């Protein structure tokens, strides 16, 4: 059996999908993956999602406005290929979007209170009778080109994944966010303006059809990306790059009507991050030497010396483990963990495969 990097990553994705929480913790610049939180602001909420669209946590995640001074700023050029790598594969259905905001002085000191504009989005790869099929499913990194018309300056580069598995009610969408710090060298002077820019919070109301919807029933027949249009007008989002796959393989996904046409990008260099497993060559087979069995002897009379004593243990199939924290899994098909949530939280069923502890009543 041939073992490939794609196979290894698919297996890793299945192992991580139980928790399904993820963070964009590494910046990618021209196919080089930087160290964890070297250029990405570190959050302090253990990868729990942001759910309040009117919170300043929507800018750079909880705690992300406090760690700019301890985060490096990476120098790039307008038009360079950049992106993000995640700590685990994306396990929730929904789109990815990337915004930028120019700092007043330095990215380290910037709190993101200025205007933001969108430069990239990745939504559905297909829409079938079974519903929305997401190009983001189980990816571990993605890259895209910075706009060539980007003016010089220091910026926050914000990655946003919107998880829609519980978005049928207001506040049910989950936002997984990270901000990187970059210093751009460019020649353009025209900055984004008008309908291309928005404040965060303020970019979403939470009632948008791309944020509040039931992705299971009735089965959606279309999807609209929330937020402003991509800047500059007419630019194209690029196909996601899966770690370990070639650019040609990554470009085979079919873009949906709501996602701009995909363009091929370079595969990410992950030699330092992941080592492929080689398949050992089996030794030549040697038939074992045959030895005639010893002469049969009638066994001595049987005398039982041990009578087992039954000690009742845990009831088979019962839930095990302590109380589940908020946003942790508490139920679903084949789930074997605890179904009891911490005080103040309730186990809410999203679908046949996933139930999750949420704060308050279900």
What is the pLDDT confidence band of residue 321, given thresholds at 50, 70 and 90?
low
Q: Check pLDDT > 80 for residue 62.
A: yes
For the chain, give percent helix, strand, coil, nearest 5.
Answer: 5, 25, 65
340 burial level (CB within 10 Å; 0-12, 13-18, 19+): middle
User: Residue 300: what pLDDT?
Assistant: 54
Cis peptide before 218 (omega within 30 of 0): yes
Mean pLDDT of 86-95: 96
Listed residue (348, 300, 304) closest to 328, CA to CA: 348
Taking only the tens place, the pLDDT of each residue in 128-159 is 999 999 999 999 999 999 999 999 999 999 99
Mean pLDDT of 75-84: 98
CA end-to-end distance (rounded Å), the chain: 46
Residue 6 CA to residue 226 CA, distance in Å, equals: 31
Which residues does residue 155 pair with via DSSP β-bridges, in sequence order? 102, 182
3-state secondary structure 75-114: EEECCCEEEEEECCCCCCCCCEEEEEEECCCCCCCCCCCC
Higher pLDDT, 100 or 8: 100
Taking only the tens place, the pLDDT of each residue in 154-199 is 999 999 999 999 999 999 999 999 999 999 999 999 999 999 999 9
Taking only the tens place, the pLDDT of each residue in 209-224 is 999 999 999 999 999 9
Taking only the tens place, the pLDDT of each residue in 267-315 is 344 333 433 333 444 455 555 555 555 565 555 554 444 444 443 433 3
The single-letter DSSP state of residue 151 is B
Q: Check pLDDT > 60 for residue 243.
A: no
Residue 103 CA to residue 114 CA, distance in Å, equals: 8
Mean pLDDT of 39-66: 96
Mean pLDDT of 252-274: 35
Mean pLDDT of 3-20: 39
Q: Which residues contact 198 (CB under 8 A, 6 or more apart)?
A: 115, 116, 117, 227, 228
Give domain limits for the chain.
5-250, 329-359
Q: Which residues contact 110 (CB under 8 A, 6 or more apart)?
A: 68, 101, 103, 104, 154, 156
Residue 24 CA to residue 96 CA, distance in Å, equals: 11
What is the reported pTM?
Answer: 0.65
- Architecture of the domain made up of 5-250: Distorted Sandwich (2.70)
Check: CB of residue 198 under 8 Å from CB of residue 97: no
């Amino acid at each position: 059996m041939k073992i490939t990097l794609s196979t290894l990553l698919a297996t890793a994705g299945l192992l991580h999908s139980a928790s399904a929480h993820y963070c964009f913790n590494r910046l990618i610049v021209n196919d080089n993956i930087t160290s964890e939180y070297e250029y990405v602001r570190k959050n302090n909420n253990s990868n729990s999602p942001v759910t309040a669209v009117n919170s300043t946590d929507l800018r750079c995640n909880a705690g992300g406005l406090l760690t700019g001074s301890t985060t490096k700023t990476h120098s790039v050029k307008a038009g360079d290929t950049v992106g993000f790598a995640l700590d685990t594969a994306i396990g929730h259905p929904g789109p990815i979007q990337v915004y930028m905001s120019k700092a007043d002085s330095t990215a380290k000191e910037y709190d993101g209170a200025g205007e933001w504009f969108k430069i990239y989005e990745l939504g559905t790869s297909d829409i079938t009778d079974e519903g929305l099929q997401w190009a983001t499913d189980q990816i571990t990194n993605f890259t895209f080109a910075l706009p060539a018309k980007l003016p010089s300056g220091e910026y926050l580069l914000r990655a946003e994944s919107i998880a829609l598995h519980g978005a049928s009610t207001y506040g049910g969408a989950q936002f997984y966010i990270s901000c990187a710090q970059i210093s751009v060298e460019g020649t353009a002077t025209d900055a984004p303006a008008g309908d291309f820019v928005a404040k965060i919070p303020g970019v979403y109301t939470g009632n948008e059809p791309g944020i509040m919807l039931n992705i299971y029933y009735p089965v959606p027949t279309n999807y609209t990306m929330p937020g402003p249009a991509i800047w500059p007008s007419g630019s194209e989002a690029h196909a996601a790059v899966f770690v370990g796959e070639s650019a040609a393989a990554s470009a085979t996904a079919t873009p949906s009507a709501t996602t701009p046409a995909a363009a091929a990008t370079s595969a990410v260099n992950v030699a330092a991050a992941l080592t492929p497993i080689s398949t050992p060559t089996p030794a030549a087979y040697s038939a074992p030497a045959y030895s005639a069995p010893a002469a049969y002897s009638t066994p001595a009379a049987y005398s039982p010396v041990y009578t087992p004593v039954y000690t009742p243990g845990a009831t088979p199939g019962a839930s095990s483990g302590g109380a589940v924290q908020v946003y942790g899994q508490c139920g679903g098909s084949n789930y074997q963990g605890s179904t009891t949530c911490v005080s103040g939280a309730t186990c809410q069923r999203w679908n046949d495969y996933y139930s999750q502890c949420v704060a308050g009543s279900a």
